Copies of this chain bind each other. A is one copy, B any other.
Amino acid sequence: MNMIRIAKSFFGGIFGLLLTMQGISAGDFPLFPPIGPLPPVTFPADNPQTEAKVELGKKLYFDPRLSGNNWISCATCHNPVFGFTDGLPRALGGPASKEGGRHSPTVINAAYNEFQFWDGRAATLEEQALGPIQNPNEMCETLDNVVRKLSGIPDYVKAFQEVFGTGVTADGIAKAIAAFERTVIYANSPFDRYMQGDVRALSESAKRGMDLFQGKAECIKCHNGPNFTDNKFHNIGVPADGPLKEDLGRYNVTMNDTDKGAFKTPTLRNVAETGPYMHNGYFPTLFEVVQFYNGGGGRSENKSPDIHGLNLTGQEVGDLIEFMKALTGEMVRITYQSAPLAFPKVPVGF
């Protein structure tokens, strides 16, 4: 066993070195898609990207009139100020701002997700965008009402005509918001700069953390590829917390018993800015997260066999955290704009 590990280490190390020279990294687990720089964003054929569409999507993203009480926008829970999430364990929402069951996922780099939502029930950003609008625990509005409201706002009507050649439609709303979200890409993290040759971009601690990530701590088994996620669903035994006493996660979508309590592997890019952590925001800081894995995760019938105790030392815990902090990219530059005005309007004939 020891010899095999040595050989694996050796060849893994050589392979890793070769991969590192190409700007990608695989550590001890060369069979997983290596971590490395993100490829360019891809755009769906039925939603080509244009500047006008992105501008419209940005207006919609920041507009609370998409909600029932005209007070909650996408940006409320996916707030640029908090890494495009809200800094809360579980989102607040609905007409009385009650706590929901799950932590708001980040919009940063969501363009790379194969699935949206913790249970992966939406395949695209377009599908996701209309979900919270209609959820009574979130924005609590009907699509008909949103269309009606926006249709009374001349600058929106004009923008939809220009971008889609139609009036205001739910489909257009979804496409425009998705187009804007495809610009919310944080690139050029210290990790990326290191992988592109800047050997000083990572501290010594973060470099040790990177090795642990791909080695002893085994994070790369799920957090792999350029976006640090395998886009799969795993049950790691996170304890229940908040109003949902039991959250079956992916099972709700597939009805597959083995998916009970399984949740999507989130990206770790920008993880330092997008806490609290896990589907229900159970862990306030990365320290608790790493200690959770160190101790072998939680208890659950369906728990993944890949999760087991790690025997990390205190320094190794700290090094992993330093590496994860190095996954924070540069914030995209977004400037506040005035919302399209519904008023003042002078009735026709005056």
Contact = CB atoms under 8 A, between A and B. Distances in A.
Contacts of A98: 96
Interface in A278-303: 284-287
Contacts of A42: none
A162 to B, nearest CB: 21
A245 interface: no
Interface string A320-350: 0100110000010111111101011111011
A314 B87 contact: no
Given A92-B71, A273-B341, A344-B325, A334 B331 contact: no
Interface string A52-93: 000000000011110001110000100111110011100010
A221 to B, nearest CB: 22
Given A80-B336, A336-B331, A336-B336, A343 B71 contact: no
Given A65-B87, A335-B335, A275 B344 contact: yes
Contacts of A70: 87-88
A95 interface: yes
A97 interface: yes
A336 to B, nearest CB: 4
A150 interface: no
Interface in A79-126: 79-83, 86-88, 92, 95-98
Name the residue in A63, A97, A98 with the highest tally of chain B Cβ atoms < 10 Å from its Cβ.
A97
**Copies of this chain in its oligomeric complex:** 2
A185 interface: no
A57 to B, nearest CB: 14
A285 B152 CA distance: 13
Given A69-B97, A71-B97, A344-B324, A81 B350 contact: no
A337 B331 contact: yes
A318 interface: yes
Interface residues on A, range: 35 or more
A317 interface: yes
A62 B81 contact: yes
A248 interface: no
Contacts of A315: 350
A345 B65 CA distance: 37
A130 interface: no
Contacts of A347: 287
Contacts of A287: 344-347, 350
Contacts of A95: 97
A272 B344 contact: yes
Contacts of A346: 285, 287, 317-318, 321
Nearest to A98: B96
A213 to B, nearest CB: 15
Given A69-B97, A81-B339, A318 B87 contact: no
19 contacts: A69-B92, A69-B97, A70-B87, A70-B88, A71-B76, A80-B338, A96-B97, A96-B98, A273-B338, A276-B343, A285-B345, A286-B343, A286-B344, A287-B346, A287-B350, A331-B336, A331-B338, A333-B335, A336-B336
The 10 closest A-B pairs by CB, nearest first: A286-B344, A80-B336, A285-B343, A97-B97, A96-B96, A285-B344, A81-B339, A314-B350, A334-B336, A275-B343
